[in-house]
Amino acid sequence: MMNRSTRLLTSGVMTKRLTEIAHALIAEVAAPGDCVIDATMGNGYDTLFLAQHVGHRGHVYALDIQQQALEQTAARLLQEEVRRHVTLIRGNHARMLDLLPGSMHGKASAVVFNLGYLPGGEKSIITSAESTLGALDAALELLRPGGIISLLVYVGHAGGEEEHRAFLHWLEEVRGRVRWKHHNPHSAGCSPRLYSVIKA
């Protein structure tokens, strides 16, 4: 949900934002015309990117538990004239399998997670380890073989480090079903972490 201007620092030179790296990774896998999922809609930046990338022949399903997120995302999509091929769903991402059409199972080419809280929203409402683990299991069911999960996890807020540890444990549990990469492995302290997970 957080969409900070977080940048990687390499040899003293500012490089791409982690969100930009995530989008580039998704673009390598998802193609125009595909169905994709934003599991943590937030303010709609990832939803907008996905909608623009898959185009009018594709479709985006975006979820969030907060009405504020849906309203802000809808306004952003309308402004960019891509609202028609996006379905906004108010609900817990852990229930993706129930909230999305059954025809989506095994068909999505990308699922995006931007964990944490809604910027500008109620900071006590955050993604949790429990709901995120359920959502990750659902994402694997919804992805086609070769599909990507992009996950940006923030550890600098209450519950963030627990969520990160739970995600790493989940990676161990699904070993053999996925291959994954940590894209800023030298991050430390409260720095966010970006991971990509490819379904085998």
Structural domain count of the chain: 1
Report the distance separating Cα 153 and Cα 133, nearest Å: 13
Q: pTM above the 0.85 mark?
A: yes
What pLDDT is stored for residue 122 in this prediction? 54
In a domain, 4, yes or no: no
What pLDDT is stored for residue 126 in this prediction? 62
What pLDDT is stored for residue 117 in this prediction? 56
Structural domain of 148: 11-199
Percent of the chain as helix, strand, coil, to the nearest 5: 40, 30, 35
* Phi/psi at 88 (5° precision): -95, 130
Report the distance separating Cα 111 and Cα 186, nearest Å: 25
What pLDDT is stored for residue 32 in this prediction? 98
In total, the chain counts a number of residues equal to 200
Q: Give the HSE-up count for residue 77: Cα atoms under 13 Å, Cβ half-sphere.
A: 31
In a domain, 113, yes or no: yes
In a domain, 52, yes or no: yes
pLDDT one digit per residue (tens) for the chain, 200 residues: 544 334 443 333 335 799 999 999 999 999 999 999 999 999 999 999 999 999 999 999 999 999 999 999 999 999 999 999 999 999 999 999 999 999 999 999 999 999 875 555 555 466 778 899 999 999 999 999 999 999 999 886 667 788 899 999 999 999 999 999 999 998 888 889 999 999 99
CATH of the domain at 70: 3.40.50.150
Q: Which residue has the tokens 């409260």?
A: 190
CA torsion sign, 128 to 129 to 134 to 138? positive
In a domain, 36, yes or no: yes
What pLDDT is stored for residue 190 in this prediction? 83
What pLDDT is stored for residue 154 in this prediction? 86
In a domain, 21, yes or no: yes
What pLDDT is stored for residue 103 in this prediction? 94
Tokens of 193: 């972490």
Which of 193, 181, 155 has the alpha carbon at shortest distance from 25?
181
